[in-house]
A = this chain, B = another copy of it.
Amino acid sequence: MAAPETMFVLEGRPTAQLIADQLRELIVQGAFSPGQQVNESALASQLSTSRGPLREALQRLCQEGILVSKRNRGVFVAELSEDDIREIYAVREAVELAAATTLLDSGQDKISDTCRVLKGIIKNMAKQVAASDWQALARLDMEFHTAFVSGTGNTRLIRIYQTLAAETRMCILSLEVAYPRIDALVQEHQLILDHLEAADRQGLQKAIKRHMKKAVEDLTSTPEVTEITA
């Protein structure tokens, strides 16, 4: 037996966390419309559990900002405004800038490892652009940035960023905007990767700032939403 303590630990993580993960995925995929109330009993039976564990999971998601809880009213799917977007992207920028600094300070090995991962993601991105699979692109976009931050190894930074990633996906849902700038998407990420690989501190910072700024502009301009019913 190679690793006795890691075989068949059948869900070693706490139940509430498992439920929270399932529910978060459901929400960011748009299974609930923004502002909609979450019925505890219904959800509990839907997820094959009871109200107790479910409520514990809901608390987690409330703290993440994906849900909002009103006393004696229940929990509701968060409705994110354009102000929320600006907030989220400001924090994302802060986290990524810190990640960039940390990465560049932590040796060539970590940088190379991270670059390798990022390259793979960009490669997949190009494929999905060709296939016009927006859903996959949105996922890869988040994967890229999450991988970038994960490169630091700072568990707290990573956890924060995962929450921000979920909120970002909520934004796109709430505002019902199409995934923007498909063409520039690969380019911008490639630029970030290039600067990281070249260990160009200033260039990397600028690329990140520019990327965030553009994203906010795209998401907040809302130029006549033409209701592209999927």
Contact = CB atoms under 8 A, between A and B. Distances in A.
A55 interface: yes
Nearest to A153: B87
A202 interface: no
A182 interface: no
Contacts of A188: none
A160 B71 contact: no
A107 to B, nearest CB: 15
Interface stretch (A59-67, A111-119, A172-180, A219-227): A59-67
Contacts of A65: 156, 159
A155 interface: yes
Interface stretch (A13-21, A129-137, A140-148): A13-21
Nearest to A18: B71
A69 interface: yes
B154 A69 contact: no
A230 B209 CA distance: 48
A4 interface: no
Contact of A94 (B56, B70, B98, B164): B98
B157 A160 contact: no
Contacts of A55: 52, 56
A190 interface: no
Nearest to A10: B71
- Scoring A13, A17, A59, A98 by chain B CB atoms within 10 A of each residue's CB, the highest score goes to A59
A15 B58 CA distance: 13
Interface of A: 11-17, 52, 55-57, 59-60, 62-65, 69-71, 87-88, 90-91, 93-95, 97-98, 102, 154-157, 159-160, 164, 167
Given A55-B56, A88-B156, A91-B156, 9 more contacts: A13-B71, A14-B71, A17-B62, A52-B52, A87-B155, A87-B156, A90-B157, A94-B94, A94-B157
28 contacts: A13-B71, A14-B62, A14-B69, A14-B70, A14-B71, A15-B71, A16-B59, A17-B62, A52-B55, A57-B59, A59-B59, A59-B60, A60-B60, A60-B63, A63-B63, A63-B64, A87-B155, A87-B157, A90-B102, A90-B154, A90-B157, A91-B156, A91-B157, A94-B94, A94-B97, A94-B98, A97-B97, A97-B98
